[in-house]
Amino acid sequence: MNTNKKITGAFIITKPSAFTIVELLVVIVIIAILAIITIVAYNGITTRAANASIQSDLVNASNVLRMYQVDNTKYPDSVTDCPNPSSSSNICLKLSSNNTASYNVNNSSTPQSYNLTITNSTTNNLAVLTNDSKPLTPANTIAPLSPVADWLAIPSSNHYSGYTDHYGNFYDPISKSYATVTRSTPKTIYDPTTQHIYDVPPNTLGIRPRSDGKSGYEAEIEEGRTNYLTNSSFETDSNSDGLADSLSTFKTVNGTPNMTRLMGVHGNYSQNTQYTGVAGDSNNETRVLVHQSSTGFSAGENVTGSVYIKGSVNNCVLDIYLSARDSSYNQLGVSSLTITPSSTSWNRYTVSYSNLPTGTAMIYFNTIHVTSLDAGDSYNLSFDAAQLEKGAFATSYIPTTSAAVTRNADMVTVPTTGWSASTGTFMVVAGDSVHRSSGVGYSLGWNGSNSYINAYDINMSAYFDVYTQGGSDRNNGKALPVGYHTRGSRWNTGTPVRSFVDGSPGTGNLNSIDPSGMSSSAYLGASSFGVNSFGGPIQRLTIYKTALSDTDITTVTSAIKDGPQ
């Protein structure tokens, strides 16, 4: 603040003046900062209070529902007709202020089941309770800008707060409903945090923590495949020689490799092999062979072998390889992969053979092939969960015993209530896609009355080569990024489809078929109307019934990219 000074006799008289503009701006900025801090603190308190009320209501609901089931041998038909239940088979849950409940029950199933969602109207926070879960910590899940659906991958118990199983489904907190999964056979999913492969029941999806370390869970939606290798988890050693049934060995070394079985990544055992070179060993080799001698393979097909390996190699070379053979066991060609395993963690390694040569009748899969072995060189290797399947990439592990096993495709459908066929936006949070050679990945499709939008028109692939269709690419000729990303597409009748990666629009546009109708359900990840596109791992799918602006898509991306908070 400035002052004016005037000298009168021996005295100096000082007269204060008004604040300058700069000083006023500083004061305003300070007040604004304090206001923001106050608002943020208040919002945090409000959110914590809402979460506490939901948690309390869940605890009470869990106890009430459990006691009702004990007394009546079933769960109540309704819990939402408070304060006066209209039937003796209904009950009334006492909920905190601003909390509402949504309840579904199935008393005809074995075991009987229910799911209860409690939502706070002030914060929009919610939590889900099922018959096989403990009361759950709520999560702030719903994306901004009022989506019509917001499908999140969740485990079947202990949603959002850790879990005890590795299977589940996609859940929409807006409609408070689950997706429909159709797969009549079991499958598996590998969890890198526990380094174990878990079995997944039919009609559910494999669920694990999001693999990039951010919050939330992810699910893989896969095509049907067959594992042609028998006894693929090495669980049986009939003659107790340390070498699992279905395995054979080959060596040119002077000593004898040690064969034992240790704890595995799937089931109880893995196959372990150890060797240290002795005098006379010079550039020698050893092999452990999983061999396939059926007539299930032919010229022109693609085949992929995969195996989980852990261990070490010292001064020698480790690879896995596929060998195409004719009916007389003559080798026609080889595809191999040289690897350096980890001594502390399991990793999956895959090798593919494209366009099998003429005359192919069988495939040999060498899961362990060590070369350049000299005296003093050594290796200590464990391997497990081997798979040999047709296709250009590996899918989740399919356990086998004495015969090949086929797993059906994951068919996932979600209702299209509130969606618009003429305009909309599709956002997906997902990791790298496994897909067919066409490059199609995470996709959403439905049948219209006269035409349809399918995976080729509305999707975003993690394919790291340029994917084009109709002379127009999706990302302006640039390779799409590898890793976990938030991808999206929007459609609007009469305009090209526009794609987005992490909120940034590509300048390439894809001409789409204008749909003329909306079916009652849509396919997530794979479709039954001729478009075979499979994505995964997928954490989230968010749908809007309008074509969001570039700015709005950036806003949504910022809100959902790191998972439920």
pLDDT digits (tens, 9 = 90+) for 174-191: 887 889 999 999 999 999
Q: Is 146 helix (H, G, I), strand (E, B) or coil?
A: coil
Whole-angstrom Cα distance, residue 344 to residue 312?
9
Does 247-407 match 139-223+408-565 at the fold level? yes
Whole-angstrom Cα distance, residue 104 to residue 94?
17
Tell me the Cα Rg of the chain.
Answer: 30
- Map out the domains of the chain as residue ranges: 19-136, 139-223+408-565, 247-407
Q: What is the mean pLDDT of residues 369-391?
A: 96
Q: Are 564 and 141 contacting, i.e. CB atoms less than 8 angstroms apart?
A: yes
Whole-angstrom Cα distance, residue 119 to residue 100?
5
Whole-model pTM: value is 0.76
Mean pLDDT of the chain, nearest integer: 81
Whole-angstrom Cα distance, residue 432 to residue 482?
6
Q: What pLDDT is recorded for position 175?
A: 84
Task: Give the model confidence (pLDDT) of 396-442 as tens digits.
Answer: 999 999 999 999 988 898 998 998 888 888 888 888 765 543 444 55
Helix (H) or strand (E) holding 560: helix 550-560
Q: How many CA atoms lie within 13 A of 264 on its CB side?
A: 24
Q: How many Cβ atoms sit within 10 Å of the Cβ of residue 516?
A: 13
Q: How far is CA 175 from the centre of its chain?
A: 22
Q: What pLDDT is recorded for position 20?
A: 79
Whole-angstrom Cα distance, residue 409 to residue 416?
22
Task: Give the model confidence (pLDDT) of 294-328 as tens digits.
Answer: 778 889 999 999 999 999 999 999 999 999 999 89
Higher pLDDT: 265 or 84? It is 265
The CATH number, out of the four listed (2.60.40, 3.40.50, 2.60.120, 3.30.70), of the domain defined by the range 139-223+408-565: 2.60.120
- Tell me the backbone φ, ψ of residue 427, rounded to 5 degrees: -120, 135
Q: For residue 111, is the peptide bond before it cis, meaning its omega torsion is within 30 degrees of 0? A: yes
Q: What is the mean pLDDT of residues 108-124?
A: 78
User: Could you give the percent of the chain with pLDDT greater than 70?
Assistant: 77
Task: Give the model confidence (pLDDT) of 480-530 as tens digits.
Answer: 567 788 887 787 877 766 777 888 876 555 555 566 677 888 888 765 555
**Residue 6 pLDDT > 60, yes or no?**
no
- The string of DSSP letters for 333-367 reads EEEEEEE---SSS-EEEEEEE-SPPTT--EEEEEE
Write the class of the CATH domain 247-407.
mainly beta
